[in-house]
Amino acid sequence: MTHRLALGIDVGTSGVRAAALKEDFTVISVTKASMDLSRGPRNDPSVWLGALSEALSGIVQAVDTSGIEAICVDGTSGTVLALDAAAEPVGHALMYNDAVDDPAIAEAIASVAPRQSAAHGASSALARSIRLQTRSGVARIAHQADWIAEQLAGKPVPSDESNALKTGYDPVARHWPDWMSQTGMDTRLLPDVVATGTMTGVTSGAFGLPKGIPIVAGVSDGCASFLATGASTPGDGVTALGTTVTLKLLSDKPIFAPEYGIYSHRIGDQWLAGGASNSGGEALAAHFAPDEIVALSKLIDPEISTGLDYYPLPRVGERFPVNDPDLQSRVDPRPETREEFLKGLLEGIAAIERLGFERLADLGGPKLTSIRTVGGGAGNPTWTRMRTRLLKTSEAPVASGEAAAGSARIAWGFLKDRA
């Protein structure tokens, strides 16, 4: 039996993943391919292409591809590359965490960009694009997700409102703003931008996929990861408990507070806002080994507060929900037992999470109505209970931890809107 399927493709830092989803969002296959760094560095588009080919080869073998009805691609947020007139990359890409070394570029942006723009700074995608346009033979600039979709289509495709955000796109007015030309950016090199979920092309038959499958405009990888969890209505929140604590909240209106590192990605008629604290797993690792955290957590009663007022940080400085570059880690006084100390740290991070969602609500976002958790900390049931008690909301099940599944959900949204 051939299932109706949507295919999501996630291009990450370490590899490419592809997920095939049925109409009820059941994941029937996920294939993974690591970036082959023997072929080149992570910012070499040919390395991305090799991983894409391997991941799609796995999908072709795992599912009946005649059932694939739409494809959507997500990529690392702010990764851009230069292309020549023949659509070939001009040198390596500039990745999401690359900063330009010319301070005049960031200064030019700062002189004209609105305060709430996500294009500020030497590490913005706009700054990287301004740098890329100086390479010889550049005919256009593309985001990573655009270029991957282009490989599927065999011709250029528009970008999406999520990946274009840090390049200076105005998601409220829904166009490239006039001020960008004053930064030194040749805006003629930038791609057209369409709403997430818009059909941008069809497959050419490359990579073993059938010809003519609609390709749908996607989002950044972070947004795809959020959607993969099943969060779908305003008030749904997702917390990633990893090295740091990252919060995302689905909203019916945009939230912009660059002083806290908060921007809003537009996903159709909804908005995804969030921020990232420096607290998290790295702050815990300064005091406890992973195995010790697991063992001691079993001794903790999550229903009773310690009364400690900790703010665990791995180093000086915080950005969200408190913006204080001089903030010191607060992990005193120390209780008598190790488990009580761990409990105080876990409570402290949970309190930061609560303050983060309160910050988003204070800035115009909806009240948190459900929470989904991903990352290493999601597997600690004691911490989960402590967090939901403080957040005063329920822990919702995570549908998938694969960003590719989030992109596939966007593809299904396109199919359902078209029906």
Q: What is the pLDDT of residues 106-150, one digit of tens each?
A: 999 999 999 999 999 999 999 999 999 999 999 999 999 999 999
Residues 175 and 302 reside in one and the same domain? no
Claim to verify: residue 408 and residue 386 sit in the same structural domain: no
Residues 240 and 206 in one domain: no
Please tell me whether residues 245 and 106 are part of one structural domain: no
Residue labelled with tokens 């999908």 = 59
Structural domain contains residue 107: yes
- Tell me 66's DSSP state: G
Distances (CA, A) of 133 to 44, 94, 336: 17, 12, 60
Report the Cα 56 to chain-centroid distance in Å.
22
For residue 118, what pLDDT is reported? 94
391/412 same-domain check: no
Write down the pLDDT at residue 4. Answer: 95
| Model pLDDT, residue 2 | 77
Asked if residue 243 and residue 341 are part of one domain, the reply reads yes
Both 243 and 187 in one domain: the answer is: no
Q: Evaluate the CA torsion angle 128, 129, 133, 136 in order and state its sign.
A: positive
**Alpha carbons 207 and 152: distance in angstroms, whole number:** 8
Which residue segment(s) compose the domain that 244 sits in? 233-395
pLDDT confidence of residue 78: 94
263 with 158, same domain: the answer is no
26 Cβ contact list (under 8 Å, min separation 6)? none
pLDDT of residue 236: 98
Q: What is this structure's pTM?
A: 0.94
Q: Is residue 41 situated within a structural domain?
A: yes
Residue 47 maps to a domain:
yes
Residue 228 lies in a domain: no
If one counts every other C-beta atom within 10 angstroms of the C-beta of residue 412, the result is 24
Do 301 and 389 belong together in one domain? Answer: yes
pLDDT score at 1: 65
- Residue 227 falls within a domain, yes or no? no
pLDDT in tens, 151-185: 999 999 999 999 999 999 999 999 999 999 999 99
With a cut of 50, list the residues of the chain below it in pLDDT. Answer: none
What CATH number should be reported for the domain holding residue 319? 3.30.420.40
Same structural domain for residues 350 and 389? yes
Tokens found for residue 231: 């969060």
Helix (H) or strand (E) holding 355: helix 338-362
Residue 97 shares a structural domain with residue 75? yes
Give domain status of residue 345, yes or no.
yes
328 occurs within a structural domain: yes
Total count of domains within the chain: 2
Question: What pLDDT score does 419 carry?
Answer: 73
Measure the CA–CA gap between 149 and 192, rounded to whole angstroms: 14
Residue 152 sits in the same domain as residue 241: no
